[in-house]
Amino acid sequence: MAKLIVHQEKIKDNKELIQICPFKAMEEQDGKVVINAACRMCRLCVKKGAKGAVEYVEDQVKEEINKDEWKGIAVYVDHVDGVIHPVTFELIGKAREMADEVGYPVYALFMGRNIEEKSRELLHYGADKIYVYDEPELGRFEMEPYAAVFEDFINKVKPSSILVGATTVGRQLAPRVAARMKTGLTADCTILQMNENTDLSQIRPAFGGNIMAHIKTPNHRPQMATVRYKIMNAPERMNQESGEIVNGIIDRKKLDSNIKVLDIVPKKKEKFIENSDVLVIAGRGVKKKEDLKMLEKLADLLGGQLACTRPMVENGWMDAKYQVGLSGRTVRPKLIITCGVSGAVQFAAGMNHSENIFAINKDAKAPIFKTAHYCMVGDLYEVVPQLIQKIEEKKGA
């Protein structure tokens, strides 16, 4: 791990050095400059401060990992009662693509209760081995037994890399497992690349999407990453089965949990924007809440859903579950119509893989036009009513 060392004797002016840091990570205590927890290791203090005032030091790795002992790419199978979340198939497809580059097998880890028959579906997506841990204690997600099974799988199989869907369960389970294995974890990756030396390049937006962080964990195994739904491409389902199912065996004592689930109340079914083929997205250009009905009508006519950008949520006009972007949902519909959306990088990163992006904005220099496939410079209050009229006429005909 890297660190910054302050050499006070080489500092000419404490305040001048402190002002260099954009994150307010430097402060003065008892006449000396110290670095606090806000530090992002941007190293501006090293580059722009007095020569030698701040030193960047990387700790030497005491013991290098034997990479030859770790082979294969594993995917955690996210499911509810055996119904597999589609992000799993996307990750298997990406794992297969990267594994073929270095001659690795692809593994899937499936844990639950009465899931052996349902695990056969994974044989249609290119995994070489599906490790199935089928135990009564795994019927519902509980952190301790699930983490114990994951750890057991890693210790026995030794996969070089592990991919986990950034779902509600995945975001809880992955960091717990990474901590147990004393390895790194990169969250919400948007790009994954396998290097020839089997190091996994994990790329994700950072600092609000203003930069792309390129992360590696070359001195630890396994390498772990979570990926959001709709980021990767799912492979086509093969008619024939390939690969094999391996029954995982674990000491039942390891499945004990200190938490007892008293009851499970199913949520009311709702239509998520991630599953919609058409989205109409309201941006800052919408002047008042009542105007959302106009955009909702357009979405209904197209058989789609109304979604929004962050300002709509912050204004209290729409629920956060309809927000598209890095701090919202990642979507990949067949058609997106953005209405009054400027197209900041945080938003674009959550929808730029859509098949067709149609943007309406009266600012000809709006960033959204760099992302969109079809661009219309105009006021949404003039364009949208005409679109609605044309669609209604078409449907009437």
Residue by residue, pLDDT tens for the chain (397 residues) are 678 999 999 998 999 999 999 999 999 999 999 999 999 889 999 999 999 999 999 766 556 789 999 999 999 999 998 999 999 999 999 999 999 999 999 999 999 999 989 999 999 999 999 999 999 999 989 999 999 999 999 999 999 999 999 999 999 999 999 999 999 999 999 899 999 999 999 998 877 667 788 999 999 999 999 999 989 989 999 999 999 999 999 998 999 998 888 888 887 777 889 889 999 999 999 999 999 999 999 999 999 999 999 999 999 999 999 999 988 898 999 999 999 999 988 898 889 889 999 999 999 999 999 999 999 999 999 999 999 999 998 877 5
pLDDT at residue 153 in the model: 97
**Nearest partner of 121 among 242, 248, 231, judged by Cα:** 242
Work out whether strand 83-84 and strand 79-80 pair parallel, antiparallel, or are unpaired. antiparallel
Q: Write the single-letter amino acid at 378.
A: G
Give pairs for 244-248: CB < 8 Å, separation 24+. Answer: 244/128, 244/129, 244/130, 245/116, 245/119, 245/120, 245/123, 245/129, 245/130, 245/132, 246/129, 246/130, 246/131, 246/132, 247/116, 247/132, 247/134, 248/111, 248/131, 248/132, 248/133, 248/149, 248/152, 248/153
Backbone phi, psi, residue 29, to 5°: -130, 120
Domains of the chain: 2-58 (3.30.70.20), 67-255 (3.40.50.620), 273-396 (3.40.50.1220)
Q: What is the pTM of this model?
A: 0.77
Work out whether strand 129-134 and strand 106-112 pair parallel, antiparallel, or are unpaired. parallel
Q: What element of type H or E holds 192? A: strand 191-194
pLDDT at residue 78 in the model: 97
How far is CA 177 from each of CA 170, 222, 290, 371, rounded to the nearest angstrom?
10, 10, 47, 37
pLDDT at residue 60 in the model: 63
What per-residue string of b and e applies to 4-29 under the rule 16 or more CB within 10 Å gives b?
bebeeeebeebeebbebbeeebbeee
3-state secondary structure of 337: strand
Name 305's bridge partners: 279
